Amino acid sequence: MNMMRTFLLIAALTALFGVVGLAIGGEQGMIIALGFALMMNLFAYWNSDKMVLAIYRARPITKKESPELFVLIEKLAHNAEIPIPKAYIIDNDQPNAFATGRNPEHGAVAVTTGLLNSLNEREIAGVLAHELAHIRNRDTLTMTVTATIAGAISMLANFAMFFGGNRERNMGPIAILLMAILAPLAAMLVQMAISRTREYAADKDGAEISGDPMGLASALAKISKKAELIDNIAAENNPATAHMFIINPLHLRSMDNLFATHPNTENRISKLQLFAKEINSGKNNSKSPWG
């Protein structure tokens, strides 16, 4: 259901791009904008892992340096049926983690020192399983596709602001202004909805990978509480990367609304609790808490 919802949201974003492209830039403007956005995001797709790891000054850790963490990652990767990802650590007191890599063969998981110092092994396993689910589900590719289309819509909006839009459509200045403002906003809302959908999917799949939904639920509660109190300066300086983390690292209210990049933490925990009851009962409830 989550994957179907993601496809429908991407389809809606694509349709929005087509409508906006024809209205503002015409067919030629639409193709040019998509081309530029595609090139930019292809570069980001191939280099985003290096870029984001550099932003957070993540350093690779070896099996000799942290054998327990490596054994845990290896076990969870085996459960997820993906190659063992590279492991990185970020010197930051805020407990958090993210996954990156353009595909499972180039996956990487980064955790903060705050996370390792704040959580127990069961909770760390839940977080790592969540991040491995992102890698297995190729969420980096999904977000690259959505970023490409959203970026193209923003370019068309800029095109309209500077060049007056598509004259063949006889759009007045007020209509052009409204389209230029509302189109990127609508694209951003759809992009955020896709991000929230992928987080719910990673929670569910991560709980299955670890076999312990309550371990992940406990981790989310702890991380969310401490993330509100501890700064992540690198994330504050690079808010565009905030959606990658398991919990929003920015000091904003994490509400389950149109403008949130992450689902509400209480909602995520509630779904995990229902999933744990479903597993413990040994029943495959067709009414999944994830919809």
Where in the sequence numbering do the catalytic residues fall? 131
Give the sign of the dihedral formed by CA 205, CA 261, CA 104, CA 215: negative
Contacts of 252 (CB under 8 A, 6+ apart): none
Distance separating alpha carbons of residues 106 and 50, to the nearest angstrom: 11
State the amino acid at position 10 in one-letter form.
I
Instruction: Render the burial of 101-133: b for 16+ CB within 10 Å, e for the rest.
Output: bbebeebbbbbbebbeebbeeebbbbbbbbbbb
Contacts of 21 (CB under 8 A, 6+ apart): 27, 29, 30, 33, 34, 152, 153, 156
Distance separating alpha carbons of residues 126 and 214, to the nearest angstrom: 8
Structure tokens at 72: 């845990």
Give me the residues paired with residue 99 across strands. Answer: 109
Question: Got the DSSP string for 196-210?
Answer: HHHHHHHHHHHHHHH
Distance separating alpha carbons of residues 17 and 15, to the nearest angstrom: 5
